[in-house]
Amino acid sequence: MNNNCSKYEALFTFGNEEALKKHIETCEDCKKEQETMDKVSELLKEVKPYYIAKRKNTAKLKMACAVIAILFGSTAMGVINLNSDISDILKYGNTLSAEDLGLPVDAYGLLMVE
């Protein structure tokens, strides 16, 4: 039967540091668990600068994409507003129907099937 101590998680999460340290000094199972957690913490500290640098580059890339999208959108809207041929075609409420496209339609405006 397994008689391992299961207090480490509860003390680590809900207890204070003094209680955890006292328990670790007396319990071998929790001492091994603490050593494992220390190794993981060391690995995270080692990788942290690379992760932060990557995150900063990602933020810069997102910012550049947003600026390009704004510039493209404002340029496109300027062209549409200044070019009267395009603005006349793209008015609100103007839609092309099947008849406008040259397709055969019946009296209701629906496509005719022969």
Contact yes or no for 85/91 (Cβ under 8 A): no
Per-residue pLDDT band for 1 (boundaries 50, 70, 90) equals very low
pLDDT tens sequence across 42-86: 998 988 888 777 777 788 889 999 999 999 998 888 877 776 666
Contact yes or no for 5/30 (Cβ under 8 A): yes
- DSSP conformation letters of 36-103: HHHHHHHHHHHHHHHHHHHHHHHHHHHHHHHHHHHHHHHHHHHHHHH-HHHHHHT-TT----TTTTT-
Type of residue found at 20: L
Contact yes or no for 47/59 (Cβ under 8 A): no
Q: What is the pLDDT of residue 20?
A: 85
The predicted model scores a pTM of 0.42
Q: Which residue has the higher pLDDT, 60 or 101?
A: 60
Query: pLDDT at residue 93 above 90?
Result: no
